[in-house]
Amino acid sequence: MTQNTDHSSNPADKPWGGRFTESTDAFVEAFTASIPFDKRLYKHDIQGSRAHAQMLGKAGLLSPQDVDAILSGLAVIESEIEAGHMEWKVSLEDIHMHVESRLTDRIGMAGKRLHTGRSRNDQVATDIRLWLREQIDGLAHELTRLQSALVELAAREAATILPGFTHLQVAQPITFGHHMLAWFEMLQRDYERLQDCRKRLNVMPLGAAALAGTTYPIDRNYTASLLGFDYPARNSLDAVSDRDFAIEFLSVASLIMMHLSRFSEELILWTSAQFDFVRLPDRFCTGSSIMPQKKNPDVPELVRGKSGRVFGHLIALLTLMKGQTLAYNKDNQEDKEPLFDTVDTLFGCLRAFADMMPHIQPKPEKMRRAALQGFSTATDLADYLVRKGLPFRDAHEVVGKAVGLGVKTERDLSAMTLAELQSFSPVIEEDVFAVLTLEGSVAARDHLGGTAPNQVRQQVEFARQLLAAR
172 or 342, CB closer to ligand ARG? 342
- Beta pairing class for 169-175 and 161-166: antiparallel
Q: Figure out which of the listed residues 47, 101, 121, 414 binds ligand ARG, where binding follows CB under 6 A.
A: 121
* 256-295 positions binding ligand ARG, by CB under 6 A: none
* 313-332 positions binding ligand ARG, by CB under 6 A: 328, 330, 332
Shortest reach from residue 318's CB to ligand ARG, in Å: 18
Shortest reach from residue 33's CB to ligand ARG, in Å: 8
118 binds ligand ARG (CB under 6 A): no
101 binds ligand ARG (CB under 6 A): no
Shortest reach from residue 160's CB to ligand ARG, in Å: 52
Shortest reach from residue 17's CB to ligand ARG, in Å: 14
Q: Figure out which of the listed residues 34, 104, 342, 459 binds ligand ARG, where binding follows CB under 6 A.
A: 34
241 binds ligand ARG (CB under 6 A): no
113 binds ligand ARG (CB under 6 A): no
91 binds ligand ARG (CB under 6 A): no
Q: Figure out which of the listed residues 50, 98, 115, 120 binds ligand ARG, where binding follows CB under 6 A.
A: 120
Q: Is the peptide bond before 443 cis (omega within 30 degrees of 0)?
A: no
46 or 268, CB closer to ligand ARG? 46
333 binds ligand ARG (CB under 6 A): yes
Shortest reach from residue 289's CB to ligand ARG, in Å: 44
Residues contacting ligand ARG: total by CB under 6 A: 10
Q: HEC states along the chain?
A: CCCCCCECCCHHHCCCHHHCCCCCEHHHHHHHCCHHHHHHHHHHHHHHHHHHHHHHHHCCCCCHHHHHHHHHHHHHHHHHHHCCCCCCCHHHCCHHHHHHHHHHHHHCHHHHHCCCCCCHHHHHHHHHHHHHHHHHHHHHHHHHHHHHHHHHHHHHCCCCEEEEEECCEEEEEEEHHHHHHHHHHHHHHHHHHHHHHHHHHCEECCCCCCCCCCCCCCCHHHHHHHCCCCEECCCHHHHHHCCHHHHHHHHHHHHHHHHHHHHHHHHHHHCCCCCCCEECCHHHCECCCCCCCCCECHHHHHHHHHHHHHHHHHHHHHHHHHCCCCCCCHHHHHHHHHHHHHHHHHHHHHHHHHHHHHHCEECHHHHHHHHHCCCCCHHHHHHHHHHCCCCHHHHHHHHHHHHHHHHHHCCCHHHCCHHHHHCCCCCCCCCHHHHHCHHHHHHHCCCCCCCCHHHHHHHHHHHHHHHHCC
Shortest reach from residue 125's CB to ligand ARG, in Å: 8
Q: Figure out which of the listed residues 66, 78, 94, 157 binds ligand ARG, where binding follows CB under 6 A.
A: 94
414 binds ligand ARG (CB under 6 A): no
Residue span binding ligand ARG (CB under 6 A) among the ranges 118-126, 178-186, 315-323, 374-382: 118-126
24 binds ligand ARG (CB under 6 A): no
Shortest reach from residue 97's CB to ligand ARG, in Å: 9
94 or 142, CB closer to ligand ARG? 94
Residues annotated as catalytic are 167, 288
100 binds ligand ARG (CB under 6 A): no
157 binds ligand ARG (CB under 6 A): no
Beta bridge partners of 279: 361
Residues forming contacts to ligand ARG in the complex (CB under 6 A) are 34, 38, 94, 120-121, 124, 328, 330, 332-333
